[in-house]
Chains A and B, each alone.
Chain A
Amino acid sequence: MPLRLEKRAERSSTMALLSPIIAIGLTLIFGAIVFAMRGVDPLHGLYVYFLEPLTDEWAREKLIVKATPLVMMAAGLSISYQANVWNIGAAGQLYMGALVAGLVPVFLTGWQTPEVMLVMLILGIAGGALWAMIPAILKVKFNANEILTSLMLVYVAELVFDWLVRGPLRDPKGYNFPKTVNFAGWQTLPAWGDVHLGALLALLAALGLGFLMYRMLKGFELRTLGSAPRAGRFAGFSADKAVYFCFGVSGGLAGLAGACDVMGVGRQLQTPYSTPSYGFVAIIVAFLGRLNPVGAILAGLLLALTFLGGEAAQTTLHIPDKIAKVFQGVLLFFVLACDTLVLYRLKWESRK
């Protein structure tokens, strides 16, 4: 092959900035072609898909709302994956966080003091963290692979959520529809337009975890255990404790994301519940953010943009959902491919 890859001596910081730009550039070209083929004016199409969510205030708010659970979960997953603790069950932990937080409006509807909001958020964290403890305990005590256990528990969480919301938690005045009473007052999150408090919490979580990972001993511990486990053991870092910590934090954040979602957006529990599927998208976000919790912020916004753009493409540009999904996949490919250039450089080899 005349063209080949060669590992750089160190990460190229120029490429770190350029590669997303190149990726977006390639996607824009691809997008323009797709739009033209569908009979849509390419410039208008690109505006609606990429720029409107950034420039139009209504769309900007929707962008932040969509990015919130992604950033919150991806931040937690980033530290977990860096420590080689593979929590694939964020979706299930989100279900549990939403469920436990939602118990308050269902059973204590009258509790309307400022404290109840805090209580619900804490319950959300607890719900997610406790559900995440199951794969953690199974790994530490029984050596059970956490990829499988956390993934299986997503399905279990979904079914338990469905059973409860459809059954005992149902709104008695709701014509037997599978939803709870509407949350009200202090049992919901304050919002500015559409943007609810969860967005701020997500930002704080990402920044906080970023600080933890790169400025605190705990972060060093986790990173060492992930990349050089034997060195970590020699240094006295406990791999078992790291498993508990990572599942606890990432599960807790997923649970918090669930609580914020039901308190800030839906304001009820209803089944089927679609937000948890973002638990899997958050995995992509974590990797796009190069497993840096702060990077998750931008990556989360980018992915939220693709979802929003897909919606806009359907409603405004009349491009079917299928094409929007293909577009999303291709965008991801370009981003991933261009990311290579950060760690590796392309070299021309002349044939000798």
Chain B
Amino acid sequence: MEQFYAIAITIIAASTPLLIAALGELVVERSGVLNLGVEGMMIMGAVCGFGAAYVSGNPYVGLLASIFGGIAMSILFGFLTLTLLANQVATGLAITLLGIGLSALIGESFVGQPIQRLPNFHGINILIVFSFVLTALVSWFLFRTRTGLMIRAVGDSHVSAHAMGFPVVGLRYACVAFGGACAGLAGGYLSVADTPQWVENMTAGRGWIALALVVFSTWLPKRLVFGAYLFGTISILSFTVQTMALGIPSQLLSCTPYLVTVAALVVISRNRQLLRANTPACLGQPFLADR
């Protein structure tokens, strides 16, 4: 039983950063913006979070700083794509490159320094609880509030939304900032709660997984939880199977989370109606109000 609990906690810990980052990106994409810079925002969140926790001695301060780190990067992204109308895909990728370099620069003096880990109760820390609360909040906000409706309208047809008087650019900026905050917080989770240290590039591609999970979830928050935990569970289980020394090559075991995600997507995608109803039609297209 104890072994089962230990594995369960490990799975939850591994899935949480994916879930938080993906929730943010889900909101961003629902508003019609494709932000491929999640990885860059996450790593900036990680370094800001660690740095603040190290300097202040307080992990909570670190988490707060990680949110701001993510927001800062996302405002930069927003300025380029929403005000200057630069291509969203390329800008997102550029943000990722910038984030990786900038975080390494900022984190130079933090390498090899330990900090106090975020306190937890039997392995469960506040961010894990928060990730579920956030899912419920995002779900409620998007589908049960007027602002959420506006956001979805903007994502589906920004021209019509603008004609109806919705502040398209303003809403998108807000969503992008929210996405940045979530990505930053997810990064802070890694450097403050999960493995309290700073190492260059420590997010190691989790931002990309989060992006993939948003697509997997067909932009529905509850499905996102399923996706994040599916991925996390298979990843941890593949390690567990390794310890059993069955002779299966570790690389093939490591393939399983990706293959299972693809298979699950295939099953989910058969419902074309649901897909069409939830895919933001204007995803990735720039919007300029003409007077």
Contact = CB atoms under 8 A, between A and B. Distances in A.
Contact of B89 (A5, A151, A162, A287): A287
Interface string A304-326: 00000000000000001111111
Nearest to A332: B94
B contact face: mostly helix, strand, loop, or mixed = helix
Contacts of A340: 84-86
A325 B100 contact: yes
Interface of A: 5-7, 138, 142-145, 147-149, 151-153, 155-156, 159-160, 162-163, 166-167, 280, 283-284, 287-288, 320-330, 332-333, 336-337, 339-340, 343-344
B146 interface: no
8 contacts: A138-B266, A143-B269, A148-B216, A155-B258, A160-B255, A325-B98, A326-B105, A337-B80
Interface in B64-104: 76, 80, 83-87, 89-91, 93-95, 97-102, 104
Interface string B245-286: 000010110110011011001100110100100000000000
Nearest to A346: B84
A325 B101 contact: yes
Contacts of A288: 90
Contacts of B290: 6-7
B85 A149 contact: no
B212 interface: yes
Given A283-B93, A324-B101, A339 B108 contact: no
Contacts of B216: 145, 148
B266 A337 contact: no
A contact face: mostly helix, strand, loop, or mixed = helix
A159 B100 contact: no
Contacts of B272: 143
Nearest to B249: A163
Interface of B: 76, 80, 83-87, 89-91, 93-95, 97-102, 104-105, 108, 200, 208, 211-212, 215-216, 249, 251-252, 254-255, 258-259, 261-262, 265-266, 269-270, 272, 275, 288, 290
B270 A142 contact: yes
A151 B212 contact: yes
Contacts of A7: 288, 290
A280 B93 CA distance: 8
A243 to B, nearest CB: 14
A153 B258 contact: yes
B212 A337 contact: no
Contacts of B265: 144-145, 148-149
Contacts of B262: 138, 144, 148-149, 152-153
A234 B90 CA distance: 32
Contacts of B270: 142-143
A343 B212 contact: no
Given A152-B262, A325-B104, A337-B86, A284 B269 contact: no
B91 A152 contact: no
A119 to B, nearest CB: 28
A330 B89 CA distance: 16
B86 A336 contact: yes
